[in-house]
Amino acid sequence: MDLGDMEKFFELQSPLTPKENEQLNGFPLDDAWFSKTATYDIFEEMEETQKEFICGAFETTSTISTAPNSPAVNDYDTFEITDEELRNLPVKQLNQKLRDLPKIEASKLRKRRRSLKNRGYALNCRNKRVTENEQLQKTNIKLRIEVAKIKEELSKAVRERDIFKQKYERINSVFSTICTTSAMTLKGASVSKS
């Protein structure tokens, strides 16, 4: 069927009423709407796998369920899985569970699993970074306290050095004075004896 044939086909179809337009834009379409259109007949004649493919294309959640009023009845069981189970399920088991699903749904669930795993990795990375940051802050505080203690010990040692230096200078000046006085006394005594 070429493009011209398709245009002719759509021209022959009756135009949609405003209510039908609203239903078409609002999804999901109910049985009453389908009964008024030719697409319902086409949909009924489709094989189950084709119906699954079409229904799966409009699915947006990570669970697949068949609604009781749905015109398409899937031949697979209702497949429900929580995000936690999806994230933690080993790949082999996940593949076994997804084997019976349409490819689009399986692909969506795999993509959802990858997103959940990436969120987990990002969360672990953030937690690790926060923990590391807290640890570095604690280490920084300990080091600052240690530096303050060492500075205090250094200033104490400098004060003690200054005190000992002053004592040395006083003792040295006293000793110099005594030596000078003694030397003069000895010179004076030796001059007077001669």
Comparing 60-64, 78-82, 138-142, 169-173, which segment has the lowest mean pLDDT? 60-64
Residue 177 has φ and ψ, to the nearest 5°, of -65, -45
- Percent of the chain at pLDDT > 70 equals 56
pTM confidence score = 0.40
- CA gap 131, 137 in Å, rounded: 10
Token pair for 45: 């004649």
Token pair for 63: 């669970």
Spell out the domain ranges in the chain. Answer: 81-184
Tens of pLDDT along 81-117? 898 999 999 999 999 988 988 999 999 999 999 999 9
Neighbour-count burial of 112, counting CB atoms closer than 10 A to its CB (0-12 exposed, 13-18 middle, 19+ buried):
middle
- CA gap 82, 104 in Å, rounded: 18
Residue written as tokens 């795993």? 117
55 close to 72: Cβ distance less than 8 angstroms: yes
Token pair for 85: 């189970």
